[in-house]
Every structure is written in C-alpha cells, then in structure tokens.
Amino acid sequence: MKKRELLTVLVGAGLVFVFIAMPFFCESVAQPQKRVVLSHGTFLPQSAVQHPAVKEFFKGLEDATGGAVKMEFHWAGTLGAAKELYGMTVDRLADTATVCPQYNQGVFPMFSIFELPIQFPSGEVLTKAALKMYKKGYFDKDFANVKLVGLYTLSPYILQCRERKVTTVEDFKGLKVRAGSAVTANMFKLFGAVPVQTSTAEMYSNLQKGVTDAEFTPFEAVIIFKTYEVIKYVNEWRTMTSAFVIPMNKEVWKALPKEGQAYIEKNWENYSLKYAAAYDAAHGRAKELLLKTPGREIINFAPGEKEKMNTILASVWEKWIADIEARGLPGKKAVSDLYQILKELGVEKPFVGYTPR
C-alpha cells in the first residue's frame, strides 16, 4: 500500500512538472531561428540599373529562409573600394559583394577573357556565353576562394567623347581615354590614344575638366553618371565590355540554412541573366535620352575602319593567349570555346582581330 501511494505521488509530481514546463518548452520550439544579417558591398551607386534585380534576388533568399537571413546593402563604395571588395569577401569583411574582376589585374587570369575585343549584340547574350564557360570549369581556379552567386556582363561598350568626333582609327591619336583594364589600355595605345586610369566615380568630373577626352563605357553610364551633360558625341562601337561577379564568402555559404543554399543554387543563373538584361534595357533608354539632348550626336566608324582594327588588334589576342598559356592555363582552348559558343548563340563575327583555327 505504501509503495502504491509513493508511486501515485511520484506520478502526480511528474505531471505537475510537465504541466509547469510545457509553456517554456513550447516557446522554445516555436522560437524562430536567430536572424543573421549579411553585408553586401558594391562600388556602384544605388541607381545602377541591375540593383533592383540584385535586391530582389537577396529578398528571395530572405524569404526562402523564413527571415533567418537578411541582407544589408552598402552602396557606392561605402564598404570598400572597387579593387578591395573581392579580398574583403574572401576575408569576410564583406559577406557578399558586386565585384568587377578587371579592377584586380592578374588575380583572375582566365576570367580576363571578357576584357578582350569581343563583338556581341547584348549583355544577355554574352552572359549566356559566360555561364556556359563557367560550367566548362574555366573559372574554377580564379574563384576557388569564394562561392559565386552571380556572374554577368554589361551591355556592349560605346565611346563617349567630350569634343572630338571619332569616326576613324586616326581620330584616336592623342585622345585621352579612361581605360578600365590592362587589355583596354593596350588597345588604345595601339590606336595612338592615351589611356588614363581613373575611377568610374570620377567619370563626370574628368570629362568636364578635360582630364579625359573620352570614356569607354556601356551606354547606360550616360544615365547613371549623367555624362550626357558634358559630352557631344557617342560612337556606338558595341565592342568589349566589363564582366561582373557576385562572390559569397565560403564560410557564409556553408553556414546558410539548407533552404537558403537550395534557393541560391536554383536561381542565381537566371538572376545573372536578369542583371544583364537590365543593362540592355538601359542601353536603349540612354540612347533615347542622348538623342533628345540638344547638341548631342550618335556616330559610328567610317566604312573600312573596323577592318583596320582587325589587323591592329590581332596582337591583343596573341599576347593574351601567350600570357595565359605561360601560366599553365588553357588560353587558346578557352578562346576557341568562347568563339564557338557565341557562334551557336547567333553572333556572326564574335571577335575583333582573331579567328580561332
């Protein structure tokens, strides 16, 4: 009888304990995962045309994780300068960033293929080619220290000129042109121009003051940096461009909830195409704006001038291939594959100055 009474007391005490502890247990189970705020740095202003899609992509990450991951954006170099952002991502001083690899010369040898004189109709087409090159493994070593969550190119470059009307190769002589990469600088030297190294943020003031006579940029820079106010001519060259990546710190990637990783793997390539498409759309808007601005003119090269460029620019390709091969990397094969991919995407003459054999 005593044993039965003791058992009854113990069972009753246990039920009381469970009853008291239940609210705390339920609260613990229902408590949402701790929110992690990730930083995204970019050297571009918030007005850059791809940023609505970039914010949409990361909002999707937030939604996929039930709010466990939230993004904090740092625009216009407030987190770090253009050439610093990749290293900051590797070292986790930034969790993700918008990076233009050409500002880190020599760090991304294979990816510098997109600095070469390529002709293409739109950023979206070249981005499709870039993604195919990525899947072939050409950029694995370049970005081994990060997880890529974005890869895209801008629309084709045009030449913004402050005063001089450039319609022939001869017109380049003595022209001070901002060159964003070593390949671009070398090209302008071959044309007799004077390459100038300055930041994109100084584009407007440099043109206004005559530090540069011309800027080699996507057409949308006319809108973003308001250069239509200080230029007279745009040569719609549609050759060469800049390629961008969005790296994520590897440890940040590994720590993401599995839902977040699945969301990124499913969506990052489609969003890369959206970023490129945003630049293509802005190309058209910028052209319309320029045509509506009094005293502005859109021009192109005189007949036969692009054929001259083919001869002059052959050495640019030869040097790039030789430099890449000297590093034990497949430069010639990469150029051949990119050429074939662009041909398959409908580009009739993908390269200026080179045809793979």
- HEC secondary structure over 2-15: HHHHHHHHHHHHHH
- Tell me: pLDDT of 19 over 70: no
Q: What pLDDT, in 10s, does the model give residues 147-168?
A: 999 999 999 999 999 999 999 9
Cα distance between residue 188 and residue 174, in whole Å: 10
Q: Which residue has the higher pLDDT, 334 or 23?
A: 334
Given a cut of 80, whether residue 54 has pLDDT beyond it is yes
User: In which band, very low, low, confident or very high, does the pLDDT at 33 lie, cut at 50, 70 and 90?
Assistant: low
Cβ neighbourhood burial of 172 (10 Å; 0-12, 13-18, 19+): buried
pLDDT of residue 115: 96
Burial (Cβ within 10 Å: 0-12, 13-18, ≥19) of residue 221:
buried
Query: 37 by DSSP, 3-state: which?
Result: strand
Q: Give, in degrees to the nearest 5, the angle at Cα 49 between 48 and 53.
A: 110
**Lowest mean pLDDT, pick from 12-26, 154-168, 289-303:** 12-26
pLDDT over 50 (residue 290): yes
What tens digit of pLDDT does each residue of 267-276 get?
999 999 999 9
pLDDT category at 127 given cuts 50, 70, 90 is very high
How many Cα atoms are found within 13 Å in the side-chain-facing hemisphere of 178? 25
The pLDDT, as a whole number, for residue 18 is 40
- In this predicted structure, the answer to whether residue 180 has a pLDDT above a threshold of 90 is no
Residue 323, amino acid? D
Domains and CATH numbers, the chain: 36-153+242-283 (3.40.190.170), 157-241+292-313 (3.40.190.10)
Q: Is the dihedral of CA 183, 189, 193, 197 positive or negative?
A: positive
Question: Per 3-state DSSP, what percentage of the chain is helix, strand, and coil (rounded to 5)?
Answer: 50, 15, 35
pLDDT of residue 198: 87
What's the CA gap between 330 and 7, in Å, rounded? 79
Residue 327 has pLDDT above 60, yes or no: yes
Alpha-carbon gap, residue 210 to 217, rounded angstroms: 17
**pLDDT band with cut points at 50, 70 and 90 for residue 1:** very low
For the chain, give the mean pLDDT: 91
Q: Are 183 and 241 in contact (CB under 8 A)?
A: no
- CA neighbor of 103 nearest in space, from 203, 204, 245: 245
In whole angstroms, give the CA distance from residue 129 to residue 133: 6
pLDDT value, residue 147: 98
Residue 158 and residue 248: Cα distance in Å, rounded?
Answer: 31
Closest C-alpha to 129, from 147, 153, 148: 153
pLDDT band at 22 (very low <50, low <70, confident <90, very high): very low
Beta carbons within 8 Å of 314's beta carbon, 6+ residues apart: 353, 354
Give the pLDDT score at 53: 98
pLDDT tens for residues 219-266? 999 988 999 999 999 999 999 999 999 999 999 999 999 999 999 999
Q: What pTM was computed for the model?
A: 0.88
Of 5-19, 176-190, 233-247, minimum mean pLDDT range: 5-19
Residues 6+ apart with CB under 8 A from 156: 119, 120, 121, 122, 123, 218, 237, 238, 239, 240, 241, 283
What are the b/e assignments for 281-301, b being 16+ CB within 10 Å?
A: bbbeebbebbeeeeebeebbb
Helix axes 305-326, 331-344, angle to 10 degrees: 140
Q: How many CB atoms lie within 10 A of CB 78?
A: 10
Neighbours of 2 (CB within 10 A): 6
pLDDT at residue 282, as a whole number:
94
Q: Mean pLDDT across the stretch 1-16?
A: 46
Question: What integer is the mean pLDDT of 302-314?
Answer: 96
Confidence class of residue 50 from pLDDT cuts 50, 70 and 90? Answer: very high
Query: Is it the case that residue 52 has pLDDT exceeding 70?
Result: yes
